[in-house]
Amino acid sequence: MYDLGILLQIVFWGIYAGCIYILLATGLNLIFGVMKIVNFAHGEFLMIGAYVTATVFFLTGFNPYVIILLSMLALIGIGAVVERLCFRPILGTSKLNEIFLSIGLIYIFQNGAAMIWGDEWQSIKSPYEGITVPLGSLTVPLDYIIIMGVTAIILCGLYLFLKRTKTGREMRATSQNRKGAMLVGINVERLDILSFGIGCGLAAAAGTLWVVSGQVFNPYMGSIPAVKAFAIIILGGLGSIPGAIIGGLLYGIAENGAAYFLGGVWKDAISFIILIIVLVIRPTGLFGESGE
Amino acid sequence: MKYSVLFIVILLIAAFFAGCTQPAQAPSQPSEIKVGAIVSMTGPNSNIGKNMWQSAVVAADEINANGGVFVKQYNTKIPVKLVQGDDESTRDGGQKVATKLITEDKVDILVGGYSSGVTSAYQQTVAEYKIPYIVTGASSPIITHRTDIDTSTVFHHCPTTDAYGKYTTNFIDQVIRPAVNKKFSFPADRPFRLALLYQDTAFGQGVQAAVNETITKNNLNIQLVSQQSFKMGDSDFRTALTKIKEANPDAVYVAAAPNEGAQIIPQARRDVGLNTIFLAVENNDAPEYYKGIAQYGEYSIIESRFSPYLTPKGILSDAQTAFKNKYFAKWGTYPDMMGASTYEGTYIAAKAIENAGTLTKADTRQALMDLKMPQLIEYMKDSTISFTKDFRESQFDLWMEQLQYNSTIGESRPNIVWPDNLKMTEFVLPDWYKPGNP
C-alpha cells in the first residue's frame, strides 16, 4: 500500500530533524541535570548560534561546518556569562524566579539580536548545496548526511567527556547528587558554569546545522524548537542524556510521520500526544529516574 | 435713577441679541489628521510590515508636501500624521495595538493589516468604535464577508484569496496545461495534475477553497492530486513535498508567506527532487523572496499586481517608477506589493476625508462607500479605485510572472507572461521539467 522508498525518505527527514532536536535537548538536559534549573531561553542560544555562524560565514566565507566550532566556543562563553550573572544569584530559590528570569532573557536576546542583525529572516548556502548521494534506495542531499555525521561526532565527544574525563565524572556525580558532590569536595559552582556553557554550545551547534540545511532564521526562531526540546527531555526523562537522544529521534520521526500520514497540521500535535501517552504509562519519562 | 435702569435694560437687551447673533463656536480645528497604520514591525511578518509602513510614510510625505488634506469643515488643508501600530505579527499584538490606536491615539482612520488571522482578531474593536479601516494586506475574504460582527466600516484594498486563487487556476488551465500537453504529446483531454501546498490559516484555506471552486464551477480539466497543509511559521516542508512528489503532479500551487515560500521551492527542488512548475501567491513578489529562492526559483510563477523588479508598460509605468524611486531614495530598498497597496491606502484615506469634508467617522465611511478616484500605481478594473457595494472590495487587474535566473546577481527576476495585453515574454517549460503521470 505504501511505497517503501517514500517511507524511508520520511524516516530520513525525521532523523535529520531529530539531529537538531537532539543537540538542543541534550544541552538543556545537561544544564538541568547539573543545576536543576529550567531555562526557557535555551532556544535563544540556538538562534544566536545561527547568527554567529551566518555572520562569520558572510565575513570570511569559511565553510560553515568549520564555523560550528567557533559558534560553539562563542556560545560556551556567552552561556558562562549568563550563568554567572543571571542564574547563579537565583540558584536554589523559587522555581518561579527561574521561569520569569528565563522568560525575560528570551525578550532580551530576541530584541538584542534584532538590534544587532535586524529582524528580517535570512539564510545562507552550504558549499555542498545541490550535491546528492545515493543511500540505499534513496538519493539524499550530502548536507543532511554531514549534519547527521556532525551530530554523531558531537554526541560521541560529549559521551567521552562525561565518561572519560575527571571533570565529566564530577559533572555526572553532581547531576546524581549535588550535595553529595559538594561534600566530597567537588567545586559545583565551576561545574555549573561549565555545564551551562556546554549546554549553550550544543544549542549553538544546533543553530549552525539549522542554517547550513538552508532553513531561514530570524531573532524569533528559537521559541518553537525550545518548546519541543522541553517536550523531548520530559519524554526521554529529565536529566537523562540517552533519553534526550532517543526522545529527539523519536520526536523527529514522529513529526514527519504524522505530517505524511495525517497531514501537516498534526506535525506538532503528534509529538505531544506521544509525550502524554509516555507520561501516563511511565511518569518519569523513557529513561528518567524517580525523584527527578 | 430712571436713566440708569433704562441703560441697564438696554445693555441686557443688547447683550441678549448679541448672544443670539454671534456665530456658534466653531469646533476647534485639529492640527493634524491621524492615520493609524497597523503593520507588523516585529515578528515573522516584519519584512512585509516594514515595507507597508515605509510605503505609507512615502504617501504621507507626498500628501503633506502638497499642504495636507483639504477639509471643507475647516476650510483649510490639514497635514496627515501617521501613527504606527505594531501588531507584532500576533493576534494578541494586533488586538492590543488596535485598541491603543483607537482609544489612546484617537486616530481618524486606519490603514494596513497584513495577516488575515491577525487582522480578524481585532475587527471587533474596529466595529465597536466604528472606525473606517482600509485593509491593504490581509487577503482572506472573511475580513469583509464575516457576519458575526459589523464589518461595515472595513474596506478591502487588496485582492482576496478568491480573486487570485481563481486567476491562477485559470492561468494554469489556459497556459500551463496546453503547454504541457503540447511538449509531451499528451492528449488534449488529459486532466492536468495540480498539487496544492497551503498554509493552514484563513489565507491558505481561502486559496484552497478558491482553487477547488474555480475548477468545479468552470468544469476545468484540472485534477487536484494532492492537497497538503502546513502550520504558519513552519520551516521544514520536506515531508509534505515528498508526499506531493509521490502524487506525480504537473505543477504545485503554493499558498504561503514569503518566508515560507522562499524555503519551499529550494527544499522541493534541491532536497526532494521535485522538478516541476511552482506557482506562488502574490504576496511573495517581494525582494526577500527573490533572494531566498535564488536559482531554484527559475521558471517558477508568481501571480502579481505590483513587482519590485518589473514595471509593466502602460499608463501607470511612470507613476510606479516614481514611487519605487522615492521609496528607494528614502529607505534604500524596493517596495513590495503590500507596500504598494498601503501607499494607495494612505491616499485613499486622505481622499475619503477630503470628500467627506469632515473628520466625522460616519461621513468618512460614507465617502469611502461613494469613492471613485483614478487608479494610482496599481492597475484597477475600469482604471478606478472604488469599493463594491456588497463587501467593500476594490477590484484589481492581475498578471502572472515567470522568473528567469540571473547568474550575475544570483537571483531570479520576473517577466509578465499573462495576460496577453501585458505579456513581456512567452511562458516556458524548462528542460528539467518533469510532468506527472501521462
The backbone region for A262, taken as left when phi is positive above 0, alpha when psi lies in -120 to 50, beta otherwise, is alpha
Measured CA distances, B69 to B56, B66, B260 (Å): 15, 8, 40
Note whether residue A5 is domain-resident. Answer: no
Note whether residue A261 is domain-resident. Answer: no
Query: What tens digit of pLDDT does each residue of B343-358 get?
Result: 999 999 999 999 999 9
Note whether residue A277 is domain-resident. Answer: no
Average pLDDT, chain A: 92
Per-residue confidence (pLDDT) for residue A289, from 0 to 100:
66
B284 at the A interface (CB within 8 A)? no
Task: Give me the residue from B231, B292, B294 closest to A264, CB to CB.
Answer: B231
B410 at the A interface (CB within 8 A)? no
For chain B, the domains span 33-159+315-385, 162-304+407-418
- C-alpha to C-alpha distance for B73 and B240, rounded to whole angstroms: 58
- C-alpha to C-alpha distance for B286 and B31, rounded to whole angstroms: 36
Query: What tens digit of pLDDT does each residue of A150-181 get?
Result: 999 999 999 999 999 999 999 999 998 999 99
Note whether residue A33 is domain-resident. Answer: yes
Averaged pLDDT for residues A127-137 = 89
Band of residue A238 on the pLDDT scale cut at 50, 70, 90: confident
Q: For testing the chain A interface, which of B53, B201, B242, B290 should be mutated: the one with the most A CBs within 10 Å?
A: B242
pLDDT above 90: residue B10? no
A129 at the B interface (CB within 8 A)? yes
The ipTM value here is 0.87
Averaged pLDDT for residues B307-318 = 92
Note whether residue A287 is domain-resident. Answer: no
What distance in Å separates residue B334's CA from the closest CA in chain A?
15
Which CATH number applies to B33-159+315-385?
A: 3.40.50.2300
Note whether residue A259 is domain-resident. Answer: no
Band of residue B19 on the pLDDT scale cut at 50, 70, 90: very low
B266 phi, psi to nearest 5 deg: -60, -40
Answer whether B292 sits within 8 Å of A216, measured CB to CB.
yes
pLDDT above 80: residue B11? no
Q: Hey, which CATH number is domain B162-304+407-418, 3.40.50.2300, 3.30.590.10, 3.30.1330.40, 3.30.230.10?
A: 3.40.50.2300
Answer whether A214 sits within 8 Å of B233, measured CB to CB.
no
Note whether residue A82 is domain-resident. Answer: yes
Nearest CA in chain B to A20: B236
B242 at the A interface (CB within 8 A)? yes
What distance in Å separates residue B124's CA from the closest CA in chain A?
27
Averaged pLDDT for residues A9-22 = 95
Per-residue confidence (pLDDT) for residue A292, from 0 to 100:
47
B48 at the A interface (CB within 8 A)? no
Band of residue B321 on the pLDDT scale cut at 50, 70, 90: very high
Count of structural domains, chain A: 1
- C-alpha to C-alpha distance for B113 and B347, rounded to whole angstroms: 16
Fold match between B33-159+315-385 and B162-304+407-418? Answer: yes
Answer whether A13 sits within 8 Å of B238, measured CB to CB.
yes
- C-alpha to C-alpha distance for B329 and B327, rounded to whole angstroms: 5
Note whether residue A274 is domain-resident. Answer: no
DSSP E strand stretches across B150-205? 154-156, 192-199
**β-pair type (A138-141, A132-135):** antiparallel
Sign of CA dihedral B206, B208, B209, B215: positive
Q: Which domain holds residue A64?
A: 15-229+238-248
H helices then E strands: how many in chain A?
11, 2
Most confident of A171-180, B112-121, B383-392: B383-392
Q: Which amino acid makes up residue A42? A: H
